[in-house]
Chain A
Amino acid sequence: MSAPVLIEALRITKAFGSMRAVDDVSLTIRPATFHAIVGENGAGKSTLVKCLLGFQSSDAGEIRVDNQLYTMASPGDARRLGMGMVFQHFTLVPSLTVAENLSLARPDLPAIIHWDQHHSRIAEFLGHAPFKVDLDRRVAHLAAGEKQKVEILKQLYLATRILILDEPTSVLTPAEADEVLGVLRGMVDAGKLSVVMITHKLREVMQFADEVTILRRGRCVGHAMVRDMTVPRLAELMVGESKPQEEIEKTTPVSSSGPALHVRDLEVRGDNGLPAVRRLSLAVNPGEILGIAGVSGNGQKELVQAIGGQRPIESGDILVGGRNFHPSRNAIRESGLFTLPEEPLQNATVPGMSVAENLALRKFDRFPIAKAGFLLDRVALMESAREAIRTFSIRPPSPRVPIRSLSGGNVQRAVLARDLGSGDARIVVVSNPCFGLDFAASAFVHNHLMELRNRGGSVLLASAHLAEVLKLADRIVVMSGGEIVYETLRAHLDMSVIGRHMGGHAAA
Chain B
Amino acid sequence: MQAEGAAVSGIAVALAGGAIRGSIPYIFVSLGECLTEKSGRINLGMEGVLLMGAMTAFGISDWSGSPWLGVLTAAAVGALLGLLHAGLTELPRVNDVAAGIAMIVFGSGLAFFFGKRFVAPMAPQLPVIDFGGWSSDPAIHSALRISPLFFLGIAGAFTLHYVLANTRWGLRVLAVGDAPEAARSMGISIRNKRMVATVIGASLAAVGGAHLTLYFPGIWSEGISGGQGLMAVALVIFARWSPRRCLAAALLFGAAQALGPSLQTAGITGYYHLFNASPYLLTLIVMIASCSHRKTLTGMPGALAAARG
- Assuming A112-B166, A271-B295, what are 6 further A-B pairs, CB within 8 angstroms? A96-B171, A110-B168, A112-B168, A113-B168, A273-B292, A273-B295
CA of A94 to CA of B166 in the docked complex: distance in angstroms? 17
As a 0/1 sequence over residues 165 to 187 of chain B, the CB contacts with chain A under 8 angstroms (1 = contact) are 01111011011001101110111
Number of A residues, CB within 8 Å of B: 27
* B166 in contact with A113 (CB, 8 Å): yes
CA of A94 to CA of B182 in the docked complex: distance in angstroms? 10
Interface check A292, CB cutoff 8 A = no
Interface check A103, CB cutoff 8 A = yes
CA of A110 to CA of B169 in the docked complex: distance in angstroms? 10
Q: What is the interface of chain A mostly: helix, strand, loop, or mixed?
A: loop
As a 0/1 sequence over residues 347 to 358 of chain A, the CB contacts with chain B under 8 angstroms (1 = contact) are 000000000000
- Checking B178, B294, B301 against A269 with a beta-carbon cut-off of 8 angstroms, the contacting residue is B294
- Which residues of A are in contact with B by a Cβ distance under 8 Å? 75-76, 87, 89-96, 100, 103-105, 109-115, 269, 271-273, 312
* B168 in contact with A111 (CB, 8 Å): yes
Q: Which residues of B contact A111 (CB under 8 A)?
A: 167-169
* A115 in contact with B166 (CB, 8 Å): yes
Q: Can you report 26 residue pairs joining A to B where beta carbons are below 8 Å apart? A: A75-B187, A89-B181, A90-B182, A91-B179, A92-B179, A93-B174, A93-B175, A93-B178, A93-B183, A94-B178, A94-B179, A94-B302, A95-B301, A104-B172, A104-B175, A105-B186, A109-B171, A111-B167, A112-B166, A112-B167, A115-B166, A271-B294, A272-B295, A273-B295, A273-B296, A312-B294
CA of A105 to CA of B187 in the docked complex: distance in angstroms? 9
CA of A273 to CA of B292 in the docked complex: distance in angstroms? 9
Q: Which residues of A contact B167 (CB under 8 A)?
A: 111-113
Known pairs A95-B178, A96-B174, A271-B296; A109 contacts B183 (CB<8 A): no
Q: What is the interface of chain B mostly: helix, strand, loop, or mixed?
A: helix
CA of A160 to CA of B78 in the docked complex: distance in angstroms? 44
- Which residues of B are in contact with A by a Cβ distance under 8 Å? 166-169, 171-172, 174-175, 178-179, 181-183, 185-187, 292, 294-296, 298-299, 301-302
Q: Which residue of A lies closest to B176 (CB)?
A: A93
The distance from the CB of B192 to the nearest CB of chain A, in whole angstroms, is: 15
Q: Which residues of B contact A272 (CB under 8 A)?
A: 295-296, 298
The distance from the CB of B174 to the nearest CB of chain A, in whole angstroms, is: 6
Q: Which residues of B contact A273 (CB under 8 A)?
A: 292, 294-296
- Checking B166, B294, B302 against A95 with a beta-carbon cut-off of 8 angstroms, the contacting residue is B302
* A103 in contact with B171 (CB, 8 Å): yes
CA of A495 to CA of B175 in the docked complex: distance in angstroms? 40
Q: Which residues of A contact B186 (CB under 8 A)?
A: 91, 104-105
